[in-house]
Amino acid sequence: MSEKVSLTDPIAKASSGLRGPHVAIHRRPAGQPTAGPIVRHDPAGESPAATAVQLEGRNLAKAYRKGNVEIPVLRGTNICVRRGEFLAIVGQSGSGKSTLLHLLGTLDAPDRGAVIFKGQRIDNLPLRRRDAFRNQSLGMIFQFYHLLPELTTLENVLAPLMIGQSIWTYLHKRGQYKARALQLLELVGLGHRLKHKPRELSGGEMQRAAIARALVTGPELLLADEPTGNLDRDNGREILEILGSLNRREKLTIVMVTHDQAIAARADRTVRLANGQVEAA
Amino acid sequence: MYRLLLCWRYLRTRYIALASIVSVMLGVATMIVVNAVMSGFANEMQSRIHGILSDVVLESVNFDGFPDAAWHMDRIRQAAGDSIQGMTPTVVVPAMLYFRVGDNKITRQVELIGIDEKTQADVSDFARYLQHPQNRLPGGLSFELRQAGYDVIDHQPNSGAKPRKEMALAGWKHRIRMAELEEFRMKLFKPSGGLKSTLPGGAAQQAGAEAVKDPFAAVPPAAVLPQSETFDAKKQQHSGLIMGIALASFRTPDGTDNFRVLPGDDVKLTVPRAGLGAGALTGPAVIEDDFTIVDFYESKMSEYDSCFVFVPIHQLQRLRGTIDPTNGVGLVNSIQIKLKPGADGAAVRDKLRAAFQPGLYAVSTWRDKQGALLQAVNMETAILNVLLFMIIAVAGFGILAIFLMIVVEKTKDIGVLKSLGASGTGIMGIFLGYGLSLGVAGSGVGMVMGLLFVRYINQVADILSWVTGQRVFDPSIYYFYRIPTVVYPKTIAWIVLGALAIAVLASILPAIRAARLHPVEALRYE
């Protein structure tokens, strides 16, 4: 690979060099201007040693306090996500799947243990660096989509860029950013619903918009928390197809949490979370 | 960027927050109106007071005054000549004004001011407030009764007063008519008597007796009394007198002035004479004399209009017996000084205080003279501002409550933003910006409302009067016909900034709460 794109400037390559075969799942019109690669791989992470492990949770422990009672959720969980892998974490409700995902995504801090992203510990980084990590290197999708109701579909997709970039940079590169957001929305098949507010979209459409939002900064890692949990079977399958395609063609690393064994079967590898421990399924 | 966008979207979708800024708006509007009216009053008052009083006045501590005004004026010029534009000597004494309307005898306690016709106009706007156009002209001031032509319609701008129809009669025509009427009356009640008054004789006698004791009174005051056996009221006038308009008239609530006397009528003044008895334990003797009203003085400051009476200075000096028979120089008890534009009154006052012995002379600026009044108005404005600012502060608490609600409502969105990498300060920025925009909207609309209200305040007062059937602004009390207003951009800037600060302060607590929300707690869906 000849890519020279850094994580801190995910869109740097936006206008130069069209890259490899794009994932085209839903009516991507021919000749549509493209705004760059869907996933930008860090050239530093291309060496064989680094490709092995992209994200690692070591001996993670987390407990929730309810009054005086401490309820342990994770008790020394170890998890390892390899680069380009589609990993499913299954477990019953309350088994701590979502908690584990939050810890991996630095949304929450573990009581004990460490989260390591590409060989660097990230759970104890300063707040600002963790915010930047979530913004630049991580995409997240949720069961309830969590689009911002005041913004249109397009604005929702652009939100991570608005957050990550200063107002001047954003206004300066608005054209590029918009092109990228359009590209992603086309990719997930929502090119025709740019100006709609989330409440005017169906569940499947909202989840697709959420995927486009998660990918807009070009992360290498996608964390998905029950992405199909609230969708009917057809819509759920389409979402999974998108995820699978992104994983195969763009080498996007995906960690998906689900309670449904059938959905987990779409992943490369499945682990089970039970009693606060990870075991191979 | 997302901050601006979300701010804007929240503004456009949360109407409840707009309700919370109505109170900011009303507070700002009220403050602007109150400030404009208060400074309008203060301004009007100051300019009137300043127009009436000279910039600096040198007064004698001694009631009799000091001789040789020219020598004093030279000394003033030596002390502070470069900032002095004009000076005039005056004699100010308390006096009793007495006149008859039909069978009613009316007395008024007045401040009698002897002025120099030639130089009075140099030091104050005195002439501007007179009712005969010729008296208002530069150098046109005269204590001779005019034939006619007194203002029927108030010449002062923006007064909006009702026409004073009676003034059309004023002048010699009125004097002759009144004299004829008096003649007729006398004939009716005292068929055997003439028109002789018993008063002048008495006054002359008294004056004569006084002259023996009083060295200043060597010129017998009787000589200045034109009243004699041959005085013909139809052809002659007494010494001229200019009277405060409120002494001569009263105003009915609808703004009409009703005159008791007019230029051409005679009045009597009782004046204390100069010089005390040898033992200095007897008070000043009084003397009285007839005067003919030649004009009215209307400064629109009721305090002055109802107590000032002006007569020629030499007339007053002669009446009080203060003219030195050897050289004809009279005593004056104050010198009014007009400063050049831009000169510092306080500095001149201090220079003069150094130049004149403090035990004998008092020097003060017009501000010193009216300090209490101006201070009171400033104080009132300050207190009103504090009270009204409380209204905006209350509005701030409204914003606080509504914002806390919005933060609770937006908990999930805040979690989403954090999961997308938004920092705590960024989230805080959304709500602070939201508060600021509400403040801008509220104070902006309030400012426009306030300024419009000020612009049309008199129309509003008229409408309110019409609706309530009660006069909102009663010109018989204030002596202004219209509500005066002054808008200072600086005041408005302060009010608006204050309102903005309160809106931002009120949003700080909700913003901090939003910033501290734990993303996982916020995202938890159950």
- Every domain of chain B and the residues it spans: 2-46+374-522, 93-321
CA-based nearest residue in chain A for residue B519: A107
- Residue type present at position A34: T
**In B65-198, which ranges are continuous DSSP H helix?**
69-80, 120-123, 133-136, 172-189
Residue pLDDT tens, chain A, 281 long: 344 333 334 444 343 333 333 443 444 344 444 556 777 766 554 555 445 788 888 888 888 888 888 888 888 888 888 888 888 998 887 788 888 888 888 888 888 888 988 888 888 888 888 888 888 888 989 888 888 888 888 888 888 888 888 888 888 888 888 888 888 888 888 888 888 888 898 888 898 899 899 888 888 889 998 888 888 888 888 888 888 888 888 888 899 998 888 888 888 888 888 887 888 76
Comparing C-alpha atoms, which of B237, B231, B230 is closest to residue B263?
A: B237
Print the SS3 string covering A27-69: CCCCCCCCCCCCCCCCHHHHCHHHHHCCEEEEEEEEEEEECCE
CA–CA dist B103, B114 (Å, integer): 30
- Name the helix (H) or strand (E) containing B413: helix B411-419
Backbone angles phi, psi at A88, to 5 degrees: -110, 135
Alpha carbon distance A89, A257 (integer Å): 5
Residue B333 has pLDDT above 90, yes or no: no
User: For residues B254 and B98, what is the distance between their CA atoms, to the nearest angstrom?
Assistant: 28
DSSP assigned state of B269: E
Among the partner-chain residues A127, A149, A163, the one whose CB lies closest to the CB of B417 is A163
pLDDT tens digit string along B438-496? Answer: 889 889 999 999 999 999 988 888 888 888 887 777 665 665 667 888 889 999 999 99
Burial of B104 (0-12, 13-18, 19+ CB in 10 A): exposed
Identify the band that residue B96 occupies on the pLDDT scale cut at 50, 70 and 90: very high
B59: β partners:
B334, B362
Contact present, A183 and A158 (Cβ < 8 Å): no
Helix pair angle (A203-215, A174-187), 10° resolution = 130
Q: Choose between B27 and A29: higher pLDDT.
A: B27
Q: String of b and e for B367-396 (b: at least 16 CB within 10 Å)?
A: bbbbeeebeebeeebeebbeebbebbbebb
**A-B contacts (CB, under 8 Å):** 75
**Phi, psi (deg, nearest 5) at residue B108:** -140, 140
The closest alpha carbon to B116, from B152, B90, B151, B146, belongs to B90
Chain A interface residues (partner B, CB cutoff 8 A): 99, 102, 105, 107-108, 127-128, 131-136, 140, 142-144, 146-151, 155, 159-160, 162-165, 167, 170-171, 213
Chain A: give the shortest CA distance to residue B2, in Å. Answer: 5
Judging contacts by C-beta atoms under 8 Å, the chain B residues touching residue A108 are 518-520
Dihedral of CA atoms B289, B176, B243, B44 in degrees, nearest 10, equals 180
pLDDT of residue B223: 43
Task: Give Cα A247 to chain centroid, integer Å.
Answer: 11
- Mean pLDDT over B4-26 rounds to 80
Cβ proximity of B269 and B17 under 8 Å: no
Please check whether residue A38 is in contact with residue A211, taking contact to mean a CB–CB distance below 8 angstroms. Answer: no
Kindly list the residues from chain A whose CB atom is less than 8 angstroms away from the CB atom of residue B525.
142-144
CB atoms within 10 A of CB B469: 7
Q: How far apart are CA B28 and CA B440, in angstroms?
A: 11
Q: Is B283 helix (H, G, I), strand (E, B) or coil?
A: coil
Q: Do B420 and A160 touch (CB under 8 A)?
A: yes
What tokens were used for A274?
A: 């039970």
- Residue type for position A44: A
Comparing A71-75, B93-97, B160-164, the range with the smallest average pLDDT is B160-164
Cross-chain residue pair B520–A128, CB shorter than 8 Å:
no
Q: Radius of gyration over alpha carbons of chain A, in Å?
A: 18
The reported pLDDT for the residue numbered B509 is 92
Amino acid of residue A69: V
- B421·A107 Cβ contact <8 A: no
pLDDT at B476: 58
Beta carbons within 8 Å of B91's beta carbon, 6+ residues apart: B65, B113, B114, B313, B316, B317, B320, B322, B330, B331, B332, B333, B334
The token pair at B12 is 């456009």
What is the secondary structure of A86-101 as a DSSP string?
A: EEEEE--TTSSHHHHH
Using a pLDDT cut of 70, give the percent of chain B over it: 87
Residue A39, amino acid: V
Helices B489-516, B371-409: crossing angle, 10 deg rounding:
30
| B152 pLDDT more than 80 | yes
Which has more confidence, B284 or B9?
B9
The string over B500-517, giving b where at least 16 C-beta atoms fall within 10 Å of a residue's C-beta and e elsewhere, is bebbbbbbeebbebbbeb
- Chain B nearest-CA distance from A132, in A, is 6
Is the pLDDT reported for residue B255 higher than 80?
Answer: no
pLDDT at B201: 46
Neighbours of A72 (CB within 10 A): 14
pLDDT confidence of B342, banded at 50, 70, 90?
confident
Of B284, B374, B371, nearest to B333 (Cα)?
Answer: B284
Residues A222, A24: Cα–Cα separation, whole Å: 19
Contacts of B424 in chain A (CB under 8 A): 127
- The CA-atom distances, in angstroms, between B247 and each of A152, B254, B302, B482 are 76, 19, 10, 22
DSSP at B223: G
Contact B421 A135 (CB under 8 A): yes
- Look at the pTM and tell me if it is higher than 0.95: no
| Cα angle value B172/B177/B182 (rounded, 5°) | 125
Lowest mean pLDDT among B90-99, B200-209, B226-235, B296-305: B200-209
Assess whether pLDDT exceeds 60 at residue B183.
yes
The share of chain B scoring above pLDDT 90, in percent, equals 12
Q: Of A242, A268, A112, A262, which Cα lies nearest the Cα of A186?
A: A242
What are the residues of chain B with a beta carbon less than 8 Å away from any beta carbon of chain A?
1-2, 4-6, 9-10, 13, 412-413, 415-424, 426, 518-520, 523, 525
Using CA atoms, how far apart are residues A51 and B318, in angstroms rounded to an integer? Answer: 118
Phi-psi region of A66 (alpha: psi -120 to 50; beta: other; left: phi over 0): beta
| Chain B residues whose beta carbon lies within 8 Å of the beta carbon of residue A107 | 418-419, 519-520, 523
The pair of three-digit structure tokens given for residue B66, joined into one six-digit string:
């000091």
Q: Which residue of B has its CA nearest to A101?
A: B520
Closest CA to B291 of B237, B255, B328: B237
Alpha helices in A89-220 (DSSP H): 97-104, 127-137, 153-164, 167-172, 174-187, 203-215
A224: its two tokens: 């998905």
Angle at A229 between CA A66 and CA A101, to 5 degrees: 50
For residues B269 and B91, what is the distance between their CA atoms, to the nearest angstrom?
Answer: 15
Closest CA to A187 of A245, A234, A259: A245
Most B CBs within 10 Å: which of A66, A73, A150, A157, as the mutation test of the B interface? Answer: A150
**CA A229, chain centre distance (Å):** 16
Starting at the edge strand that comes first in sequence, how are the strands of the sheet with A86-90 ordered? A138-141, A221-225, A253-258, A86-90, A269-274, A277-280
Q: Which of B462, B406, B392, B512 is nearest to B21 (CA)?
A: B392
Run of H or E residues at B57: strand B56-60
Structure-token match 């309160």, residue found:
B502
Q: How do strand A138-141 and strand A221-225 relate by DSSP bridges?
A: parallel
- Residue whose C-alpha is closest to residue B491's, from B50, B23, B37: B37
Nearest CA in chain B to A156: B2
- B207: pLDDT confidence band, cut at 50, 70 and 90? very low
The per-residue pLDDT of chain B, averaged, comes to: 81
pLDDT at B119 over 70: yes
Q: Residue B300 pLDDT > 80, yes or no?
A: no
Look up residue B236 and give its two tokens.
């002659």
pLDDT of residue B208: 47
Question: Using an 8 Å Cβ cutoff, are A167 and A116 in contact?
Answer: no
Radius of gyration of chain B (CA): 33
* DSSP structure class, residue B422: -
In chain A, the residue whose alpha carbon lies closest to the alpha carbon of B10 is A150
Q: Please give the pLDDT value at position A12.
A: 40
* B123/B240: higher pLDDT: B240
Strand partners, A60: A77
pLDDT digits (tens, 9 = 90+) for B353-408: 888 888 888 888 888 887 788 788 888 888 988 998 888 888 888 889 988 988 88
pLDDT tier for residue B124 given thresholds of 50, 70 and 90: confident
- Residue B64's Cβ-side half-sphere holds a number of Cα atoms within 13 Å equal to 22
Any idea what DSSP says for residue A155? H
